[in-house]
Amino acid sequence: MSLPSSPIARMTKAYRHLERLTDIIRIMVKFGFGDLFDRLGLGDILVRARRLVGLTVTDSRPTRPRRLRQALSEMGVVFVKLGQYLSTRQDVLPHEYIEEFILLQDAIPPIDAAEVSRILAEELESDAVRDLSETPLAAASVGQVHAGFLADGREVVVKVRRPGLQKQIDTDLEILAELAEQADRHLSFLKFIHAPDLAAEFRRSLNSELNYRREAVNIERFGRIYARNPDVKIPVVHNSLCTENILVMERIKGLRIDEPQTLRQEGFDPTAVARLASRLALEQMVQIGLFHADPHPGNIVVQPGPTLAFMDFGLVGRLDRRTRTGLLSLARGVVRRNPAAVVRAMLSLVKPDEEPDREGLEMEVEVFLENHVTGALKNLRLGQILRDVLELMSQHQLRIPPNLLLMVKALSQYESLGQKLDPNFKFVEEAEPVVSRIYRRRLSPGFWLEVFSRHGLEALGFLENLPAELGPFRQMLKSGRLQGDLVVKDVDKLSQSINQASYRLSFALVLAALVIGSSVVIHAKLPPFWRGLPILGLAGFLGAGVVGFWLVWDFLRKYKDH
């Protein structure tokens, strides 16, 4: 027997979550949002929810964004997290909604220490953590943090996930996914945001935050990056005591980073702290490609040095090489007030569903640069400019990668923190030397050696797999299943072009092999040497230079002939 295919049946997965869905709609009706569910084709459940509410709603005087925030807060963990996630999505929500959603807090009473001890004993099957603090250091909707000690006396913090949370979250995420499908079908004004993709991205983000093993991996990765950096402290993770529900790591103490008066009293220079935080943020985002995405003051403390100690790595952003290159190009285009360069960089950061109106976009960018980038660069607010650029991209329905939005939010937090530490602090002034250093590196032989090596290996891998890829095509030719009429003019000329292309490809492969081989020789430091450099490696690069010069010269000669 097949299940009914009505919207309600699809929404409730054969009525499995009908009670919870009714509860969600009841809350939305209470805060004045019942019309949305009517438009989604859920009229029957809406009538039932209205009966439960008694046709009364909360005072309608608060703004619509504030009422939506209140509704999300009342609906529980998943919807609070959804609001917090959407507060990073300038491409989805208007500014007034984002400002409200930033205020969403996990206002749930903490579980008592006895329950935490029970969870630890059940998960770890031992008294590995002792003397657990009665009062949590922090408590949120997903989990809470307690202080404790290991058997050898080392101080640790223990992060424990609330029991029984997963089932509720799975139910709400399933309902949310179906609501997104319905919204995509019925609400035309939401088409450009691709609600199902947005729901899927939120699901991945929340599940990652729920899994403490993933957070442990994030902490260890940052630990390796900053292992020899005296400016940064990353807590040590006790992996043998970590599970999906429990995270045990070194306890780190220090001064809150957002209290300049306290910092001064303890002998720190708040401006130096602001500069260090900004430099580290920029290096993580633009150079490393892995950044702490939740830098609120409770997650960063200051130690003597100054040294910044980062905590809570549940939310980490990643930017691939292409995105980082696009960001650098975008910054360069803005600084040079070049609309065409800015548009090229914007389009390199996204995958538009349709080719945008480049001419119209360039005109808007030109007006944007005239209005925003005037006077001295040091007076610019980098976070605000990036937010406005993303908003402009959103207006042209360009789909912005979530991690890029997360980066802009984190960068804005760092900029606000710098202003709090020192009202005269200019984030752009700190960004300029970092960006310049990265650009200088791109002009160095080492950078291009890395690029040639990487792409050379990719080319060799492609050629290695080429026979297997062409196998089915060859079989079709042999069996006679590939048929067609082919009319070729100037066969001799075509044959000559094919031969020339083959020669060029061969030389390109030789060039790649020379670059890769020479790189290996130089890094291995194989004798004999000339001025401290391996002669074989130098000879290989010289040969690669000759081959490369010939390829360029041959291409230009043929291009000129045509």
Q: What are the boundaries of each domain within the chain?
A: 7-107+168-205, 108-165+206-252, 256-443, 445-480+493-561
Nearest to 86 by CA among 180, 186, 212: 180
Name beta bridge partners: 150: 129
* Separation CA 404–CA 390 (nearest Å): 9
pLDDT in single tens digits along all 562 residues of the chain? 344 445 554 544 535 677 888 888 888 888 888 777 667 666 555 555 555 555 444 445 678 888 888 888 888 888 888 888 888 777 677 788 888 888 887 666 788 888 888 888 888 866 788 888 888 888 877 888 999 999 889 999 999 988 888 888 888 998 888 888 887 777 765 666 678 888 888 888 888 888 899 999 999 999 999 999 999 999 999 998 998 889 999 999 999 998 999 999 999 999 999 999 999 998 898 888 899 988 888 889 999 989 999 988 988 889 888 888 888 888 778 777 788 888 888 888 876 666 777 788 888 888 888 777 665 555 667 777 777 787 788 777 777 788 888 888 888 888 888 889 998 888 877 777 777 776 666 655 555 555 555 555 555 565 556 566 666 666 666 666 655 554 555 555 555 555 565 555 666 666 566 666 666 656 666 677 676 666 766 677 677 667 666 666 665 565 444 4
Distances (CA, A) of 463 to 287, 466, 469, 512, 544: 31, 5, 10, 12, 19
User: Angle formed by the axes of helices 491-524 and 535-561, to 10°?
Assistant: 160
Beta bridge partners of 143: 161
pLDDT at residue number 131: 87
The whole-number pLDDT of residue 154 equals 93
Q: Of the candidates 387, 208, 111, 420, which has an alpha carbon nearest to the alpha carbon of residue 296? A: 420
- In sequence order, the 6+-apart residues with CB closer than 8 A to the CB of 317 are 285, 290, 291, 293, 403, 406, 407, 410
Place of tokens 């099957």: 125
> Would you say how long the chain is, in residues?
562
Q: Which of 238, 268, 270, 233 is nearest to 252 (CA)?
A: 233
Q: Which two tokens stand for residue 366?
A: 């030109």
What is the maximum alpha-carbon separation in the chain? 89
Three-state DSSP class for residue 259: coil
Report the top-level CATH class of 108-165+206-252. alpha beta
Q: How far apart are CA 138 and CA 111, in angstroms?
A: 11
